[in-house]
Structure 1
Amino acid sequence: MTKIGKALGVLAAAVVLPLTLSGTAYADIPFNQPINGNATYYDNSGFGACGTWVNAATEMLVAVPASYWTTPNPNNDPLCRGVSVQVSYNGRTITVPVKDKCPSCGSGHIDLSLPAFSQLADPRLGNIPLTWKFVRS
């Protein structure tokens, strides 16, 4: 194989591999599969895991468990591209966009922003059992 052929092969692999990996990661998100778990809330502001400024005291959003993130750089994670979480508690259902990661959350635990949590329950409860699932935004 010539040097040009080898170079083109390496270039093709460099382009195709990230596309393949990102497609696989997006496919690994368990869309529309109910998860029985719990939710807490937070009200911090700063850059969320998707690389955008978030204010959990004023915005509707959710931080999902670190176990669902599939890329080393969360800004490039499939969860940051048109993915929301539909949350149901006590006869109420809301849908909130994924904008952050919860490093301390177990696989069934989500961390809602204060306004999102407030639509479901009194924040003084602090932690509520609920059902949630990933949905496309």
Structure 2
Amino acid sequence: MARTGLLFLIVAFFAAILCVLSAPVPVEEEARSIEKRTSYTGQGTWYEVGMGACGKRNKNSDFVVALDAGLYGNGQHCEKTMTITDTQTGKVTTAAIVDKCPGCGHGSLDMSPSLFEHFASLNQGVIKIKWSFN
């Protein structure tokens, strides 16, 4: 009888271990998927591009952006693309992340001149935007 009780405890113990080990855990792919669904709002401004914080030289004619310092972090978003919408006109396009913008508020982007001109005249200087990672 004692042997049956011991055997039952051993089986129950291993069953509990298997339940814990088979429990789903967040993986990097799920985290990326959630990040892609997150949209950010802020201001869009423009700057003269050149050597970006991502280590690549860019041109003013490229559709590229500088990400706010908080989101830029250690450069994990370098070369990722995003979809940007001018919230006042509804115009939409995509751009690549190539630089860090230390002066930008959370969710704001500094854009290459050609990218900014897709939305508005450079003379306007600032637009309201919404964007998300692709």
Scaled by the length of structure 1, the TM-score of the pair is: 0.67
1:71-110 to structure 2, matched below 5 A, reads 71=74, 77-81=75-79, 83-89=80-86, 90-110=89-109
Aligned to 2:57: 53
Identity percentage of aligned residues: 28
Higher strand share: 1
Aligned to 2:45: 40
Matched, 1:63 2:71: no
Contact 2:44 2:126 in 1 (8 A): yes
Aligned to 1:74: none
What is the root-mean-square deviation of aligned Cα atoms in Å? 2.2
Instruction: Tell me the matched-pair count.
Output: 104
1:114-129 to structure 2, matched below 5 A, reads 114-129=113-128
Moved over 3 A (4+): 26-29
Structure 1 or 2, whichever has the larger Rg, is 2
Q: Which runs of 5+ in 1 are unaligned?
A: 1-22, 72-76
Inter-partner Cα distance in structure 2 for 1:43 and 1:70 = 22
Aligned to 2:133: 134
Tell me how far 1:110 sits from its aligned partner. 0.4
Q: Which runs of 5+ in 2 are unaligned?
A: 1-27
Tell me how far 1:125 sits from its aligned partner. 0.6
Scaled by the length of structure 2, the TM-score of the pair is: 0.69
Inter-partner Cα distance in structure 2 for 1:29 and 1:105 = 23
